C-alpha cells in the first residue's frame, strides 16, 4: 500500500471515529431524555406537581440517590431500587435498566435536567464542528480543483519525468502561491527520487509525500491558538483596513462564546470612521448576547480604553479579551508606537500577554498577502495569521507560503459570510484536500476538463 492509500485510510478511519462518537453521544442524550420523560410520567401518576421543576428535581434526588452512590450496580439492582420507590414493576423495570446505563455511561454524573441540557449543548457543538469541517473542505475546493486540473493536464502532456516536465510542475506549484523557495525544494526532492521511466502515478505519490512531510509534519501543532483555560486571555487583532479584520474579530468572539467562554471586545481603533459602529452592529445584531463591547470616546487614546477594559475583564472574571487595532500600515512609525504602547499597557496586567497577536490577511491577494505579513512583522511581533476569503481563491498556497517564508503559522481561516464561518486551520486537512482531486478516483468528475 502506497503513501497516499495509507494516508487516505487513516483519514477515513478518523472521520468514521468522529461520527461514531457523535452517534454514541446522541444515544446517551436520548437515554437521559427518555428517563426524564418516564420520571415525569411517574410523578403525574403519584399526583406530584408535574409542571413544577423543583418537584421533579426533588423526586429524582430521592429516587436516584442510591444509584448515584453505587454506579456500578447491576441492572437488576437498579431495577429493584426504582421499583421499590415507584411500585410499578412493568414500566419501571425498563426505566431501571435505562437509569443504570445512564449512570454508568456518564461516570457517576447525576442525570438531572441540567445534565441533559449540558449533554444536548455538547452534542450540538460536536455536530456543528463536523459540519464546519465539511464546509471548510468545500470552501477550499477552488484551490484544490485548479491544482488538480493542472496536474491532470501534466499527466496527459508528458510520458516521462524529464526536465521539461519538472519545469511545468514548478509552474503549477507557483500558481498556487506557495512560494518559489518551497516550490524549488519540492521539485528538487522529487527529482532526486524519481526515474525518467517511472509512471506518473509514482510521481504523484512522491509529490503528495513531499507536501505532507514538508508542511504537516514540520508544522504540526503550531496552528493551535494559544488559549489557556482558567485565566484571562488577551488577543490583539491587527491588519490592513479592508482585509476583514473587524469581521474576523467578531467571528472569533462568537467562536469562543459557543464554547461557553465569557468574551469582551475592545474597540481599540478609535480614529477610523465607522470602526466602532461596525463592532456595535455585530455585537447588537449578530453575536451571542454574552459578548460585550467596550468602547472609548472618538479619538481617545486606544491604550487608555484597553486599560479600563482589562480592569473590568479581570474584576468580572472574563475568559477572553479581543482587542481591535488600527490598520494604518502606510504610517509604520506611528502604528509601531501605538501598538508598542498597547503592548506595554497589557503587560501591566500580565507579563505573558497578549497571548496572541493575530494578523488578518485577505487570501485572494496571494503573494501580496505575504508582503503584508512581512511589513506587519516589522511593526509588531505577529504570532499567527487569520486568512479570510479562503472560499473565494484558487491561490490557497498562501497559507503555506507565509509559514515557510516568515515562520508565522496560519491559525484560523474564513470560509464564508456567516458568523460561524471562521474555523481552525488544519494543515493536514488542507494538504489532503489539495491533492485529493488528482489522487482519489471519487473526485474524477469534479476535476474533469
Within a domain: residue 132?
no
For 414, the domain range is 233-425
Within a domain: residue 433?
no
Based on the domain organization, do 212 and 305 belong to the same domain?
Answer: no
Based on the domain organization, do 61 and 185 belong to the same domain?
Answer: no
Within a domain: residue 278?
yes
* Grid cell digits, residue 259: 464554547
Based on the domain organization, do 59 and 174 belong to the same domain?
Answer: no
CA dihedral 242, 247, 248, 249 (to 10 degrees): 110
Known binding positions: 239-246, 324-328, 388-391
Within a domain: residue 149?
yes
Based on the domain organization, do 26 and 118 belong to the same domain?
Answer: yes
- What residues pair up with 265 in beta bridges, in sequence order? 293, 322
Residues 6 or more apart from 279 whose CB is under 8 A from it? 246, 249, 250, 265, 267, 293, 295, 324
Known binding positions for GTP: 239-246, 324-328, 388-391
More confident residue, 32 or 120: 120
- pLDDT computed for residue 21 by the predictor: 78
Within a domain: residue 113?
yes
Residue 94, CA distances (Å) to 65, 78, 101 in order: 18, 10, 11
- pLDDT computed for residue 256 by the predictor: 94
Based on the domain organization, do 312 and 211 belong to the same domain?
Answer: no
Note whether 391 and 419 are within 8 A (CB): no
More confident residue, 28 or 319: 319
Give residue for cell 494559544.
Answer: 226
Based on the domain organization, do 249 and 390 belong to the same domain?
Answer: yes
Arithmetic mean of pLDDT over the chain: 78
- pLDDT computed for residue 102 by the predictor: 47
Based on the domain organization, do 100 and 186 belong to the same domain?
Answer: no
**% of the chain surpassing 90 pLDDT:** 25
- What pLDDT digit, counting tens, does each position of 150-194 carry? 888 888 888 788 888 899 999 999 888 888 888 998 999 999 888
Domains identified in the chain, total number? 3
Based on the domain organization, do 375 and 318 belong to the same domain?
Answer: yes
Within a domain: residue 389?
yes
Note whether 382 and 410 are within 8 A (CB): no
Within a domain: residue 162?
yes
- pLDDT computed for residue 57 by the predictor: 53
Cα(149)–Cα(42) distance, integer angstroms: 64
Nearest in space to 384 (alpha carbons), one of 177, 216, 221: 221
Residue 93, CA distances (Å) to 116, 139, 172, 427 in order: 22, 50, 67, 51
Based on the domain organization, do 41 and 81 belong to the same domain?
Answer: yes
Note whether 25 and 102 are within 8 A (CB): no
Does the bond joining 27 to the residue before it have cis omega, within 30 degrees of 0?
no
Based on the domain organization, do 102 and 190 belong to the same domain?
Answer: no
**% of the chain surpassing 70 pLDDT:** 75
Pairing of strands 320-324, 263-267: parallel
- pLDDT computed for residue 433 by the predictor: 80
Write the CATH number for 343: 3.40.50.300
Amino acid at each position: 500500500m502506497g503513501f497516499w492509500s495509507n494516508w487516505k485510510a487513516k483519514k477515513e478511519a478518523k472521520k468514521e471515529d468522529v461520527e461514531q462518537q457523535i452517534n454514541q453521544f446522541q444515544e446517551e442524550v436520548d437515554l437521559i431524555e427518555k428517563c426524564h420523560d418516564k420520571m415525569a410520567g411517574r410523578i403525574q401518576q403519584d399526583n406530584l406537581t408535574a409542571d413544577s421543576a423543583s418537584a421533579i428535581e426533588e423526586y429524582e434526588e430521592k429516587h436516584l440517590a442510591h444509584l448515584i452512590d453505587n454506579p456500578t450496580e447491576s441492572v437488576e439492582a437498579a431495577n429493584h431500587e426504582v421499583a421499590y420507590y415507584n411500585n410499578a414493576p412493568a414500566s419501571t423495570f425498563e426505566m431501571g435498566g435505562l437509569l443504570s446505563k445512564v449512570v454508568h455511561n456518564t461516570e457517576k454524573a447525576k442525570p438531572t435536567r441540567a445534565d441533559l441540557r449540558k449533554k444536548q449543548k455538547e452534542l450540538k457543538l460536536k455536530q456543528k464542528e463536523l459540519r464546519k469541517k465539511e464546509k471548510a473542505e468545500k470552501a477550499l475546493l477552488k484551490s484544490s480543483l485548479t491544482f488538480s486540473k493542472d496536474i491532470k493536464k501534466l499527466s496527459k502532456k508528458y510520458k516521462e519525468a524529464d526536465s521539461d516536465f519538472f519545469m511545468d510542475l514548478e509552474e503549477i506549484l507557483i500558481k498556487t502561491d506557495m512560494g518559489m523557495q518551497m516550490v524549488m525544494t519540492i521539485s528538487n526532492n522529487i527529482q532526486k527520487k524519481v526515474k525518467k521511466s517511472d509512471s506518473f502515478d509514482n510521481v504523484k505519490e512522491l509529490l503528495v509525500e513531499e507536501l505532507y512531510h514538508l508542511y504537516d509534519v514540520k508544522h504540526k501543532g503550531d496552528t493551535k491558538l494559544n488559549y489557556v483555560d482558567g485565566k484571562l486571555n488577551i488577543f490583539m487583532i491587527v491588519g490592513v483596513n479592508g482585509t476583514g479584520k473587524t469581521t474576523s474579530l467578531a467571528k472569533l468572539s462568537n467562536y469562543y462564546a459557543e464554547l461557553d467562554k465569557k468574551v469582551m471586545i475592545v474597540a481599540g481603533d478609535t480614529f477610523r470612521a465607522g470602526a466602532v459602529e461596525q463592532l456595535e452592529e455585530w455585537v447588537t445584531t449578530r453575536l451571542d448576547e454574552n459578548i460585550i463591547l467596550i468602547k472609548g470616546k472618538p479619538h481617545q487614546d486606544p491604550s487608555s480604553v484597553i486599560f479600563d477594559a482589562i480592569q473590568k475583564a479581570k474584576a468580572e472574571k472574563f475568559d477572553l479579551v479581543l482587542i481591535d487595532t488600527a490598520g494604518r500600515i502606510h504610517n509604520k512609525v506611528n502604528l509601531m508606537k501605538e501598538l508598542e504602547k498597547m503592548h506595554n499597557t497589557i503587560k501591566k496586567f500580565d507579563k505573558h500577554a497578549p497571548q496572541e497577536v493575530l494578523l488578518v490577511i485577505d487570501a485572494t491577494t496571494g503573494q501580496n498577502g505575504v508582503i503584508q505579513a512581512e511589513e506587519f512583522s516589522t511593526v509588531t511581533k505577529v504570532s499567527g495569521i487569520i486568512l479570510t476569503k479562503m472560499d473565494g481563491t484558487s491561490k490557497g498556497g498562501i497559507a503555506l507560503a507565509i509559514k515557510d517564508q516568515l515562520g508565522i503559522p496560519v491559525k484560523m481561516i474564513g470560509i464564508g459570510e456567516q458568523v460561524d464561518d471562521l474555523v481552525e486551520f488544519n494543515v493536514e486537512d488542507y494538504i489532503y484536500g489539495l491533492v485529493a482531486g488528482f489522487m482519489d478516483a471519487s473526485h474524477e468528475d469534479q476535476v474533469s476538463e
